[in-house]
Every structure is written in structure tokens, then in C-alpha cells.
Structure 1
């Protein structure tokens, strides 16, 4: 099992501090990047004073920052953190280094619920999509766990993966069928499936943040037990780990975090797959460090992807989900070539 580049907790703590500082710096820098660039000094001043009085000569910049870029940047932080931590949990629970949050059918459940919201209930706002998608993600996760838990063996990693893939395929087919016969659903899903964090607003950010924080707390609480689960069921039982409870809590954490993130931003790929690989390579196999580092790493990746999407084209923006695919594919190939980086 890989030891990681950092073998002492002191080095890991220092690295965590540096990573958190990097998140703050990148967040502030991202606020100034866009079709209309804003100097960092102006960004900092607007964050501190938030002067919206008519006499402020920088009123337009302040409005752009507080009405558009700040909620967008915050959503990037929460979505990236949620997807990366969810990926780390799924990989530990299934003992599969190629697993990602979609393996539990969460993405498929969210997509199906959004189509139902549009086609059946006529919902037209992202605020409405979030709640439908969260319910869809939760129902999908419960169904997957129930299917995997049938029989004497219970919800083993293989059963969870197979049940998740089967449900995702079924819901994906139904969703595509509904989209093809509903033009409004087709238009909405076309943008949602690209993975974008634009025009969401503070309401969506607050809803996502609440679920991500709750899911993260649950994940950290079971991180020590996940170390034993990653060694195999027999070893975990021998160490006194309550497998059923740990798996239920793990699925709940993934559903809350990934469901909220997917509902707000769409199925952004590679974050939950790539970041845990990078983190394990750096800090080793201890889930108590992998989970928080994954959270910070996911936030960094998505903020950077969002910035790149804003400046790659002159007049148009590229959705963050497309940028993460361009970044993630070569990085994952490079990591796959390193034997120690692909082990759990």
C-alpha cells in the first residue's frame, strides 16, 4: 500500500494549511477574471466595503462581483469539494480506485428528477431543480443500497457497484426518452449536463452549502472506519467495525454532497475520480487525511477550471465540466501509469 510523499502528520498539517491558503487566494483572483477583468485590489476593496451607494465610481464592479461572481465562486468551492470528497468515500467503500460518485446512481437520479420537474410540474428555476434533484439522488441511493443489501452477503462493494450501474443505465434510458419528447426538458438538460455553475444565485449556493457541510461532517466521522473498510470486509469485521452502519453513513454522506452538487451544477466529471488519486499519492492511504485533502483539492480544481472556462474563448464561456474533462483525462492517464498512485 502506498505511503505517500508526506509520511508525517506535521508535514500533512503544513500542506493542509498551504492548500487552504491557496483556495482563498484562488477564490479572490477568480472574482476578477472574466469578460470584464477587475483588478485584484478592486476586488479586495469591494469584498471589504461592499459600497453600493450611487456615488461610488466603481459601482458597476461592485454589482458584478456581489451579484454574479461571488455566488459563482462560492458554488465552485462547494461543488468541487463535494464531488472530490464523495469520490474518495466511494473509492474507499467499494475498494475500487476507478469508482466515482456516479457509481451509486446519484447523477442518474438527479437527472431523472430534473426532467420530471420540468416535464410534469413545469418547474423553470434552478432553485426548484435543486430540491427535485436532491430527492432524486436520495431515492436512487436508497434503491441502490436496498438492491445491494438483498441476500445473505449484504451490501458488498461489488453489489453496490453493480446495483448502481444497473439503476443508472435504467434511469438514463428513461430520462433520454422523456427529454426527446419534451423540447423544454431537452433545452434545460443540454446546459445542465454540460456542467456549469453560472447564474445560480445565493439561494442555490446556500442550499448546496448546507447539504455539503452536513455530508462532510458525516464523512469525517466515519473516516477512521473507512480505513478498515478499505482493507476488506473480513479485516474490518475483525477490527470491530460495524460494516452496515459505516456503509449507510457513507452512502448518506455521498448522497447529500454529490446530490446537492450535481443538482446545482450538473454531472461534472473527473473531479471525484482524479482528486482522490492525487491526494493518495501525496498523503498516503489514511482516510482521515484523504477526505479533507480531497475536499480542498476539489475546490481548487473547480475554481481553476471555472477561471479557464471564462478566458479560453474571447466572447463565450466554456462550462466548467468541459474544462475538468480536458484537465482530468491526461492527469488520470499519467497517474494510472504510476502503480502506487492507483492503489488504495
Structure 2
């Protein structure tokens, strides 16, 4: 097996690591490509254990990217949301358990933005890749005690703020269909019944397309906003449902272009969060892996 073939056996795992670190599929692919260049430039026989070597190289590449990304995101127009990734094909590893789906959910990836880059690396390496604290210390070039502290501090930030665990995908899909049907019909009463009292709607247009710059908070405000949003889409947009970040999401297509992706979080009293991605730069990776529906959905749900 030559060097290029050897690297390909690690590519999917490396992308999974980079995406969890960066929250961006496009940046994750760039980081993996940079890791390949480092791999290709290494001397034959220099690398005794390719997997751990690549993980360390890639993690440090992501740490460098996170430092500059944080400054860019502070100037980001409106809401920043993680870039969606199709998870039905195993791109981010198994999605068989609630914990696996929750780890790559939009909610958790958004909370990860609050962590320092080393904290984020420690949490990802331990929770997603089962690294020991000693192995994390080797990746981050710190003491084992420091690695342990980074992990516990980062994990505490997440667990203190993590929302209710994600529902079963089948239950989420059923709720999403009811939500879409009510929103598409402009049925405020039905829509309000599905929303939690303090529901929040976040929209990410990245300054590229029209989107709410501030969160829309509260059942009444959210219902009217969502019904109005769907009313503007009437006739020109086809909708389909597919998996993104471990749970069903609704895709909005205009012609052959994916122009929106929406996902919901649910709690005991209904939909607690609605996230709508409209930034075309963030939809490009997902769009490349999906085809638009051939026919518009005349009825949703």
C-alpha cells in the first residue's frame, strides 16, 4: 500500500475529528488536506503509528484554525450556526445511540464555541475517540494533569448548558412533519401548539442572504415569524427531509440549489429551538451530497 492509499484509510476518521473541532465541513476538509500534505512530505519509515501521528498533526492544524476562526466569528453578521453535515452515510461515525447523535448536534456544536481551542480538543479526543488523558497530553504537548484539567473544564461547560437530550430520530421526524405542515399552511394555532413557550428561532444568513439578525424569542413571535417565512417560499421552493447532524432536517430547494436547511430541538413542552441555515457557503458541502426533489411537495406531513 502506497502513502496515498494508506492516508485514504484514515480520511473519514480524520474528517470526523476535524469537523467536531471546527464546526465547519469546508474547513474540516481543508484541514484534512493540509494533514495529507504533511503526511506526503514525511520521510518513509519516519512514522511508526500512522493513526496517532495523523490525529496529532490534524488536531494541531485545527487548533491553529480555531484561533483565527474565533476572531472571524466575533465579526460574523448575525447568528453563527455550525455547518450541516449529512450523517446517514457514516461521515461522522456511528449514529446508533442518542449520545452519538447528541455529540454532533447543532446544539452541542454551538456550545463548543464557548470552549477554548485546547478544551475543545481535549473533549473531542476523549469523548469521540476514547483517548486517555495521557494520550491527549501527547497530542497537546502538555502534562497529563493539564490534559485532565482541560477535559474536565471543557466538559463541565458543556454539561452545565447542554439542553435536553435529542429525541429518537423517528419521534423527531414525526414532530418535524407536523411542524412543517402547520408552518406551510400558515396555521398559527396549530404551529403555536407545537412550540414551547420560550422557543427560540435562530437564522444564519452570514450576511449573504436575508435572515433574522437576532433570535426570535417566544411562542407568539416565533409562530408568526415562521408562518411568514414559509409564506414567502410558497410556489418557488421544493422541500425534502433528510438527515443532518444525526437527526432529520428539512431542506429547501430553489431549482437545483439548496437555499435553506432547518432543524428543530424538542423538549417536554414542544419545540424549544429552531435553527435555519441560509448562508450559501455553509450549504455547499451538504448540497453536493444531495439531489433536489423532482416534484414539489404539495402537502407536507
Relative to the length of structure 1, the TM-score reads 0.26
Q: Which has the higher strand share?
A: 2
Relative to the length of structure 2, the TM-score reads 0.29
Q: Which has the higher helix share?
A: 1
